[in-house]
Amino acid sequence: MTWPVSLQIDAVDNGARTARALTAYRQFETPCFMPVGTRGTVRAVSMQDLEDIGFQVMLANAYHLALRPGAEVIAAMGGIHSFSGWNGAVLTDSGGYQTRSLAPVVDDNGVNFRSVYDGSMIRLTPESAVAIQELIGADIQMVLDQCPSLPAPIEVVKEAMLRTVEWARRAKKAHKREDQALFGIIQGGIDLPMRLESVQRTVECDFSGYAIGGLSVGEAHSEMLEVLEATVSMLPEGRPRYLMGVGDPVSLLEAISFGVDMFDCVFPTRLGRHGTVLSETGRYQLRRKENALEQGPLDPSCHCSTCMRWSRGYLRHLLMVKEPTAWRLISIHNLTWTNRLIIRAREAIRQGELSTLIKEVKEVWEMRDNGEGNPRNS
């Protein structure tokens, strides 16, 4: 038996909803954004930073943690929470995304990866991915899936979808920890009938929650939205719905309007490390010369610890001399900005005004992107 996540729905606004998700030991509010702590930490920021910002759940990656330091080491140290010093909930990805990003050898029984650390080979199967995540001790673990890039031949997408369904069944059978939730993953590219088939077969396994994978991986934004809305509408209302790997402001709010509860993405931190700042007037590149003498904060509307203390001019200086402190301070701001957007979305749902918030954000992020390109693909 898989421990079910109890989803206590608080308010609804058309398809959107706010809720409290309760796992065996922890709880968190939804909609929620999960910072990506691939190796057991969010790059350049501390667990204390995340707690101060107000995050309640973090994502880690089982593939990377299995390689360094090893799942057995983490288990011996008391599990991922004790090991990392993170007091909130943890969701571990199985390594399924790496079937796209690392181009491993995939067969019906599993995946052969080459270690990104020392080049040695590692074999992941649906069963071993479950066992690794049980040792790591996250509150929620994901089944192993195959995530193809788009566009791709329909035969490739279908093979990945059917393989993911079969792996989900095997993962459910292998899962032993009743105090740890297990989420299934929906694949199928942008083919609606294939997505429907994936939903039907995966829901039959009766998982604690359901993730929508294989989107925002090269397809047009309009195609993603069409498939996402249809997929979410077919998922059980009483289980968490998680859209994997999406984090730009417009897409977050659009997905929330369809009824998605959980998100993860490197968007705010990766941009921050490269000097791109999220703000109420869009995003901008801090390295630009006009910021050299700017005495104001990164965003006048923000009350994060970075904006309350340091100027744009000083933070630009840190970037230009490649001082690592800049990565942390800008990442703190971008994460705070993202978390605040999610909090605003919850408040808007409770007030029945989510559509108004989406319109306001679109006016900034779709019409005035400050020349930085499409934020969805960064």
Catalytic residues, by residue number, are 93, 264
The structure tokens listed for 256 are: 């929330």
The structure tokens listed for 237 are: 């209302």
Taking a C-beta distance cutoff of 8 angstroms, is the pair 208, 7 a contact? no
Say how far apart CA 81 and CA 84 lie, in whole Å: 5
* Distance set, CA 25 to CA 6, 137, 138, 268, 357 (Å): 12, 11, 10, 28, 33
Sequential DSSP letters for 119-141: --EEEE-HHHHHHHHHHHT-SEE
Say how far apart CA 79 and CA 248 lie, in whole Å: 31
Question: Mapping DSSP to helix (H, G, I), strand (E, B) and coil, where does residue 6 land?
Answer: strand
* Distance set, CA 61 to CA 36, 139, 144, 151 (Å): 8, 13, 12, 25
CA torsion angle 66 71 77 82 (round to 10): 70
At position 108, the amino acid (one-letter code) is D
